C-alpha cells in the first residue's frame, strides 16, 4: 500500500483532515508488522528505555506559563535533560496555545527554555507510534503538532522565540512558526536533522524556510541536516538576530515589553496583513506531517533510527548535543 504524502497542496484532492485519518489508520496497522519484522522499530513500545507510564509522563509539567503582565507572557519548556517534545507534551502545549488564543488582553508571548543547552529538540521516538497518529485533529484539521504551530503563526498575539541552546526538529519548527526569532550568538544551535536519519521533517520547515532564506539556503539546511550556529542563522535569515548571550534576555524582554504597550487591535491587524504575504497555506504544512509519518514507517528509516537509539539518542548528552555529527555516521556508503 502506497501512502501519497508528497502531493502538491494546490492540487490536493483529499482534505488535510481526511489524509491525516488515512495515515493514522495505516500507521496503526503497520506498526505491529514493523515491530515484528526484525527491524529496530524506533517507535515500538518494547523499545522504550524508561518505564514511566503515559499517565505519569502526562502529569509532569513540561510547559509552563509565566504571566509577567496581562499583556506579556513567557512560555517555558522544562523537560530535562534534553527538552524532547512528544505525544505526552501535546496536551500541555495545546492548553497553552488555547490560552494564548483566548485571552483578550494578551499581546506578546515569548517562548524560552529552562533546560541548559536545549531550547526544544526533536520528536520523542520512544512511545508507540499510535500515541501520535491516534491523536484527534486540531481546529485547523491538521495533526495537533502542525495544528498548534499554524495557530501560533495566525494568532493575533505576537510570538517570539528566545533561542539559547539547541533548537532541533520541533524546536526549529516552533521557532519558524513564531513571528520573530532571536538567538544566543555563543549558545544557539538550530537544525532540521531529519533527512540525515531518513526522515522528512513534519512541522512545516519545507514551507517556511524558503520564504525566510530562499530556496537554495533552505535546501542546504534541510538536506545538509547539519547544525547552524547563531551567527550563520542570522546571516541566512533563519533568525532575526543573534546577540551576545549576556544581552539576549534583556533585548528580548525589552522588545516584548515595548510591543505589549501598544494597541492590541493595531498589532493584530498589522500582523494579519503581514500574514497574507508571508505564511504558507495549511495544506502545505499538512503535507509535511503526512510525509513525516510515511518516512517513519519506511524500513530503512527504522534501521537508521534504531542505530541512533543504540548510539544514545534521547539518553546520551553527547549524541543530543552533536546530532549533526551522529547522523553523518548513518550516511549510505
pLDDT of amino acid 332: 75
220 CA to centre of own chain: 19
Q: What are phi and psi of 20, to 5 degrees?
A: -65, -40
**Contact (CB, 8 A) for 57 and 49:** no
Between CA 113 and CA 159 the distance in angstroms is 15
Mind listing the pLDDT tens digit for each residue in 215-248? Answer: 999 999 999 999 999 999 999 999 999 999 999 9
| Range in 131-135, 172-176, 258-262, 312-316 with the lowest mean pLDDT | 131-135
Above 60 in pLDDT, residue 183? yes
Mind listing the pLDDT tens digit for each residue in 37-47? Answer: 333 444 433 33
Above 60 in pLDDT, residue 186? yes
Contact partners, residue 278, CB within 8 Å, separation at least 6: 211
| Range in 20-29, 143-152, 226-235, 295-304 with the lowest mean pLDDT | 20-29
| Range in 58-62, 140-144, 253-257, 279-283 with the lowest mean pLDDT | 58-62
Confidence band for 333, pLDDT divided at 50, 70 and 90: low
Q: Is CATH 3.90.226.10 the right assignment for the domain spanning 15-328?
A: yes
Question: Does 136 or 17 have the greater pLDDT score?
Answer: 136
Amino acid at each position: 500500500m502506497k501512502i501519497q504524502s508528497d502531493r502538491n497542496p494546490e492540487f490536493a484532492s483529499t482534505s488535510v483532515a481526511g489524509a491525516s485519518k488515512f495515515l493514522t489508520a495505516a500507521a496503526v496497522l503497520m506498526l505491529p508488522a514493523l515491530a515484528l519484522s526484525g527491524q529496530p522499530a524506533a517507535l515500538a513500545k518494547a523499545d522504550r528505555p524508561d518505564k514511566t507510564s503515559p499517565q505519569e509522563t502526562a502529569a509532569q509539567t513540561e510547559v509552563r506559563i509565566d504571566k509577567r503582565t496581562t499583556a506579556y507572557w513567557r512560555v517555558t519548556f522544562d523537560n530535562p535533560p534534553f527538552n524532547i517534545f512528544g505525544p505526552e507534551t501535546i496536551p500541555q502545549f495545546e492548553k497553552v496555545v488555547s490560552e494564548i488564543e483566548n485571552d483578550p488582553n494578551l499581546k506578546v508571548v515569548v517562548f524560552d527554555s529552562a533546560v541548559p543547552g536545549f531550547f526544544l529538540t526533536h520528536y520523542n521516538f520512544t512511545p508507540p507510534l499510535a500515541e501520535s497518529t491516534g491523536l484527534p485533529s486540531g481546529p485547523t484539521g491538521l495533526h495537533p503538532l502542525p495544528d498548534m504551530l499554524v495557530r501560533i503563526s495566525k494568532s493575533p498575539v505576537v510570538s517570539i522565540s528566545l533561542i539559547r541552546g539547541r533548537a532541533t526538529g520541533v524546536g526549529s519548527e516552533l521557532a519558524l512558526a513564531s513571528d520573530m526569532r532571536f538567538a544566543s550568538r555563543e549558545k544557539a544551535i538550530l537544525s532540521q536533522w531529519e533527512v540525515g536519519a531518513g526522515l522528512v521533517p513534519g512541522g512545516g520547515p519545507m514551507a517556511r524556510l524558503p520564504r525566510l532564506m530562499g530556496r537554495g539556503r533552505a535546501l542546504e539546511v534541510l538536506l545538509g541536516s547539519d547544525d547552524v550556529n547563531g551567527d550563520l542563522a542570522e546571516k541566512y535569515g533563519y533568525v532575526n538576530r543573534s546577540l551576545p548571550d549576556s544581552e539576549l534576555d534583556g533585548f528580548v524582554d525589552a522588545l516584548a515589553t515595548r510591543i505589549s504597550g501598544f494597541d492590541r487591535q493595531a498589532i493584530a491587524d498589522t500582523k494579519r496583513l503581514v500574514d497574507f504575504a508571508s505564511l504558507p497555506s495549511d495544506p502545505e504544512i499538512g503535507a509535511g506531517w503526512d510525509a513525516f509519518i510515511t518516512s517513519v514507517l519506511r524500513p530503512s528509516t527504522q534501521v537508521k533510527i534504531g542505530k541512533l537509539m543504540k548510539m544514545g539518542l534521547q539518553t546520551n548528552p553527547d549524541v543530543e548535543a552533536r546530532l549533526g555529527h551522529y547522523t553523518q555516521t548513518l550516511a549510505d556508503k
